[in-house]
Amino acid sequence: MATLAITGGRLLRPDGTISRADVLIDQDEGTILELDDDLDGTGETTIDASNALVTPGFVNGHSHVAMTLLRGHADDKPLDTWLQEDIWPAEDELTPEDIRVGAELGLLEMIKSGTTAFADMYFEVPEIAAAVDTAGLRARLGHGVVTVAADEAAAREDAQTSIDVARELDGAADGRISTAFMPHSLTTVGEEYLDEFVPKAREIGVPIHYHANETTDEVAPIVEERGVRPLAYAAEKGMLEPEDFVAHGVHVDESEIELLAEAGTGVIHCPGSNMKLASGMAPVQRLLDAGVTVGLGTDGAASNNDLSLLDEARDAAMVGKLETGDASAVPAEAVAEFLTHGTADAIGLDTGRLEPGAAADIAVIDLDAPHLTPPHDFVSHLAYAVAAADVKHTICDGQVLMRDREVQTLDERAVCDRASERAAALVDRAAE
Ligand SMILES: CSC[C@H]1O[C@@H](n2cnc3c(O)ncnc32)[C@H](O)[C@@H]1O
Ligand SMILES: [Zn+2]
C-alpha cells in the first residue's frame, strides 16, 4: 500500500474547530487512514505542513470551467445582454478542442487555489471529463440544455444528450466523475422538454442541476405566464428533490425558501458572478436560518473573473453582511462550511471532511505570510484573508496534484499558451 503522511499541520475538523494533527493517507484507496498526533515517519512519502493549515480540498458547487477561454471577453454587462450579445455567439464557435483546453486552464486554476471537487454545466462534456481525468480532480459533470432558440428536433436531441452524458460518464475517471441532468434554467428550457426528460433523469438516478431565480427578468415571466413563483414551478416539474441543486437563488421569496428547506434541495451561492452581472444579492442568512443546504460556486470565469473559491468565500461573507445590514450575518464559520462539506453535501459528493475513512481530498495552506499574521483565528483567516497563492499543496483522491505550487498533472506553461492561442482565434471567429 502506498502511503502519504502530512505532518505538523493544523487541521480544520468537520465540526469547524482547528487543532494540530498529522494525516496518514492510503494512496491506493484515496482515503484518509488515520489522524493522529505523531505520524511522522509512517508514510512512504511525507509533506511537511508545519506552519500550515490543512483543510479539506475546496468544493466549487457551480462552474462552467471551459469558460476560462472567454475571461475578459465581455465585461460590465447584465446577464441577458451579456449572454445574448457576447457569450452565446462566442460559444457557437467553440470546438471540442477549445473546450478541452479551456477546461484544462480552469482545472489548473482550481488546483492552484485548493479546489479538489466541482460541479460543472457545459457542452462537449466528454472533453471536460477527459481533462478532469488527466488533472486528477473530482467532479459532477453535466451537459447544459437550452431549447428556447432551437427547433423541436434539435431541442429534443440536446435534452437527450444531457441524459446520455449523465448515464455514460457516471463513474468515469476511476469513480471521480459523477453526473447530473442539467437543464440550463426554467426559462431557457421549454416545459414539454422538462416533462419528457425529468422522469428520464429520475430513471437513471442522477440529480438535476439548473440556474434558478438569478435575475428579476427571469422570475417575472414565470410568475406572469404561470401564476406561480419559479421554484413552485420547479417543484411541479419534479425538479426540487433532496439530490437536486440550483445555482444562484438570488430572487427567492419566503415561500420559495420554505419550499427549498422542505425539499432539501441545495442552493449554490455565486456572489462574485451576482455582483459582476448586477443580478442582486441572495438572502443567504435567511436560507441558512430556514435550514437550506447552501454551497458556494464561482460560476464561469467570464462573470467572475477567476475560479478561486477563496475569493468567493470572502465575497460571500461580505455580501451577506451588506444584504442584511447585520455584521453577524454569514460569519466565518458558515463560510468555512461552504468551502468544504457544505457545498459537497449540496452537490452530493462524498468529500469535504477530514476524518478516517473519508476521501483524501486536501488543501495545505502556508500560514507563513504577513497577511496571515498574527495567528488569532485560522477560521477567520480562511474566510477573510487566505488567497489562492497561499495554497502550497493540493491532494485529491490521495494523489498529489500540486506540490510546492508546482502542478504535477498538467503542464502549466503549455496549457496557458495553448489557451491564449485558442481564445484569440475563437474571438476572431466570433467577430467575423
Ligand atoms: C448550456 S451550458 C451552460 C450555459 O450557461 C451559460 N452561463 C454562464 N454563466 C451564466 C449565468 O450566470 N447564468 C446563466 N447562464 C450562464 C454559459 O455561457 C453556457 O451557455
Ligand atoms: Zn452558471
Instruction: With a cut of 50, list the residues of the chain below it in pLDDT.
Output: none
Residue 244, annotated as binding a ligand: no
> Which among 284, 186, 166 is positioned nearest to 232, based on CA atoms?
186
Asked if 271 contacts 316 with a C-beta cutoff of 8 angstroms, the reply is yes
How many domains does the structure of the chain reveal? 2
199 shares its domain with 310? yes
User: Structural domain of residue 134, as residue ranges?
Assistant: 58-347
The closest residue, in CA terms, to atom 1 on ligand 1 is 144
| Domain boundary residue, one of 308, 323, 347 | 347
Q: Tell me which of 77, 79, 162, 184 to substitute to probe ligand 1's pocket, judged by most ligand atoms within 8 Å of the beta carbon.
A: 184
Encode pLDDT of 24-61 as tens digits: 999 999 999 999 988 877 889 999 999 999 999 999 99
300 shares its domain with 172? yes
Q: Tell me which of 64, 143, 158 to substitute to probe ligand 1's pocket, judged by most ligand atoms within 8 Å of the beta carbon.
A: 64
User: To which residue does cell 466528454 refer?
Assistant: 126
In the prediction, which pLDDT does 244 show?
99
119 shares its domain with 204? yes
Ligand 1 centroid to Cα of residue 213, in Å, is 13
Residue 414 lies in a domain: no
Residue 421 lies in a domain: no
Asked if 277 contacts 248 with a C-beta cutoff of 8 angstroms, the reply is no
Using the 8-state DSSP alphabet, how is residue 215 labeled? S
Encode pLDDT of 344-361 as tens digits: 999 999 999 999 999 999
Describe the crossing of helices 125-135 and 152-169 by its angle, rounded to 10 degrees. Answer: 20
Residue 241, annotated as binding a ligand: no
CA distance 393 to 358: 18
In the prediction, which pLDDT does 41 show?
79
ipTM above 0.90, yes or no: yes
Ligand 2 centroid to Cα of residue 236, in Å, is 23
Encode pLDDT of 281-306 as tens digits: 999 999 999 999 999 999 999 999 99
> Which among 61, 350, 352 is positioned nearest to 182, based on CA atoms?
61
Q: What is the pTM of this model?
A: 0.98
Residues with CB under 6 A from ligand 1: 64, 79, 83, 87, 91, 121-123, 144, 146, 184, 211, 214, 273, 299-300, 303
192 shares its domain with 298? yes
Question: Kindly report the CA angle at 405 between 108 and 124, in degrees rounded to 5?
Answer: 10
CA of residue 125 relative to chain centroid, distance: 16
In the prediction, which pLDDT does 249 show?
98
Residue 9 lies in a domain: yes
At residue 332, what is the residue type?
A: A
In the prediction, which pLDDT does 321 show?
98
CATH number at 210 reads 3.20.20.140
Residue % of the chain over a pLDDT of 70: 100
At residue 203, what is the residue type?
A: E
CA of residue 113 relative to chain centroid, distance: 13
Ligand 2 centroid to Cα of residue 33, in Å, is 36
Q: Tell me which of 80, 128, 211, 303 to substitute to probe ligand 1's pocket, judged by most ligand atoms within 8 Å of the beta carbon.
A: 211
288 shares its domain with 372? no
330 shares its domain with 402? no
C-alpha cell of residue 205: 438516478
Residue 284 lies in a domain: yes
